[in-house]
Amino acid sequence: MASEFKLPPLGDNIEEAQVVSVMVAEGDDVAVEHEIIEVETDKAVTPVPVDVAGRITKIHIGEGDTVKPGDLIATIESNGAPGNESAAPAEDTAPAAPAPSGDAVEFGLPFMGDGIDEAQVVSVMVSVGDAVDVEAEIVEVETDKAVTPVPIDVAGTIQAIHVGEGDTVKPGTPLVTITPGSGAAGKAASQPATATPTPAPAAPAATPSAPAAPAQPQSPPAQVSVASGAPDGGPVFAAPNVRKFAREVGVDITRVTGTGPGGRITQDDVKARARTQPAAAAGGGGVSIADAPLPDFTGQGEVEATKMSMIAKKTAEHMALCWATIPHVTLHDTVDVTDLEEFRQSQRKRVEKAGGKLTVTAILVKLITSALKEFPIVNASIDTANQQIIYKKYYHIGVAADTPRGLVVPVIRDADQQSLTNVSVQLGEMAAKARDGKLAIEDMQGATFTITNLGGMGIGHFTPIVNHPEAAILGVGRAVPTPVYVDGQLQQRLMMPLSLSFDHRLVNGADGARFMQWLKRAVEQPLSVLIDA
């Protein structure tokens, strides 16, 4: 019996969508909850699963079509394909759940957070034949933010594992195939986007008709292309998060060449375009200088190549983007921290009783928060696409941390509303989580200004790179006892190097100098600021 599958409601106030990709072909067999198309609304790109199992006999739409809830998407001929049983509501009684006992479901990597489009498998925590419960952690993955365990939303027995350590995976990539156990069917149906019934009960690898979205090819740096603009004012195919990213980095989305399915624009495409813009602005004709290929080092001696961690990979990409798109200026100065160190030592035990450690970095978080209130342009971001400056009325301070997996930047949120003791306690907690790889994604989002302290490594002045979309970053060096003249008398004082890098599109040299001088006075007389902070 043939049935018509129509576009279901997509959410409140969403009246239409655009078809991004068609993920099946006529003649394909599909199971219940098999994703057959992706549509883009004004909110997000959303996969659309079918609610009936069978064979696709007719597809009525194509990529780029505008569709509305109720529009005919596909005609499906019922053929008794596995998964019909799961069309029953999730609220069915427990005895009905074990009915499809021979059926398996494929559990895919769930959505990891905004802007996270891939991750690297750190460890596989289950084996074929293992019985697992709902919420059992089956793999650990590393994003550019943190190492995160992935719990499964289906209880049952692992039939196949589709990934291994070191693999790069994207949301929707199949991780395991599992045969649901008693009572697991309702759990599986509750999250169809990550657990998709498949006709193959124990396939060793993803079947050709698996519903995972097709991988997006990545353009190698040597093949960066520069679009001449949207053809004849035609539509630009890019998800909302990609459009937002393009606005943040100052890239005209209509001038980006898409390399994704159907010519869709990805974040990597935007980054590639961003790398070409400084050359164009400087009169270089928009020609980018790609990374030169490496020579064969093996002829020179023994070498060893290791795969970059996801954190290292994303840090490298982000730093290249920041350096290519932000015109940097760095000011260096040396400040007298003799009184600050005396204050720190006098209050150290008091903070320790509260569970924190009073460090120079903790004091700087509070002082810088006050400085940002005096100089709001340093707490701003530039929106080049709309020719706007975004002044932020909140103060989230990022603190760069070195970990075995690479550089991470946990964020002290609303630092202006917290006491110095609270800031000290939070910094200690964040440092411990960073070392253990337990930082959550939200722990590292939203910073308006960043501090990076290399003093513990014996470094003096250096040039930190501004962390887009922030306007500035402060580099802190090692404090060293130094003879200086004070009121005509030579004294030994504790002097600390400071380096302020800022986005010269937002902060001019004079404003940067005034910010630095204000901060210098605050560091040298911390009580005058901390009393009011």
| Domains within the chain, CATH numbers bracketed | 1-81 (2.40.50.100), 95-204 (2.40.50.100), 227-290+309-325 (4.10.320.10), 327-530 (3.30.559.10)
Q: Identity (one letter) of the amino acid at 151?
A: P
CB 43 within 8 A of CB 58: no
Write the Ramachandran bin of 67: left for phi over 0, alpha for psi from -120 to 50, otherwise beta.
beta
Q: Which of 318, 328, 461, 504 is catalytic?
A: 504
Q: Whole-prediction pTM value?
A: 0.55
- Residue 468: active-site member: no
Q: Read off the pLDDT band of 463 (50, 70, 90).
A: very high
Triad 143, 145, 146: Cα angle to 5°: 75
- 189 pLDDT exceeds 80? no
Of 502 and 530, the structure prediction assigns the larger pLDDT to: 502
Average pLDDT of span 167-172: 87
Mean pLDDT score of the chain: 80
Q: Which residues contact 261 (CB under 8 A, 6 or more apart)?
A: 20, 21, 214, 216
Q: Write the pLDDT tens digit of every residue in 191-229.
A: 443 444 433 333 333 333 333 333 333 333 333 333 334
Predicted confidence at residue 234, as pLDDT, reads: 52
Q: Read off the pLDDT band of 246 (50, 70, 90).
A: confident
Q: Read off the pLDDT band of 387 (50, 70, 90).
A: confident
Q: Read off the pLDDT band of 236 (50, 70, 90).
A: low
Q: Read off the pLDDT band of 232 (50, 70, 90).
A: very low
- 506 pLDDT exceeds 60? yes
DSSP 8-class letter at 300: T
Predicted confidence at residue 204, as pLDDT, reads: 36
Predicted confidence at residue 527, as pLDDT, reads: 83
CB 453 within 8 A of CB 461: no
Predicted confidence at residue 118, as pLDDT, reads: 84
Predicted confidence at residue 475, as pLDDT, reads: 97
Average pLDDT of span 8-32: 83
Which DSSP string do the residues of 23-54 spell out, in sequence order?
Answer: ---TT-EE-TT-EEEEEE-SS-EEEEE-SS-E
Cα 486 to its chain centre, rounded Å, is: 49
Query: Which region among 33-42, 352-361, 389-398 has the lowest average model confidence (pLDDT)?
Result: 33-42
- 14 pLDDT exceeds 80? no
State the pairing for strand pair 195-198/174-180.
unpaired
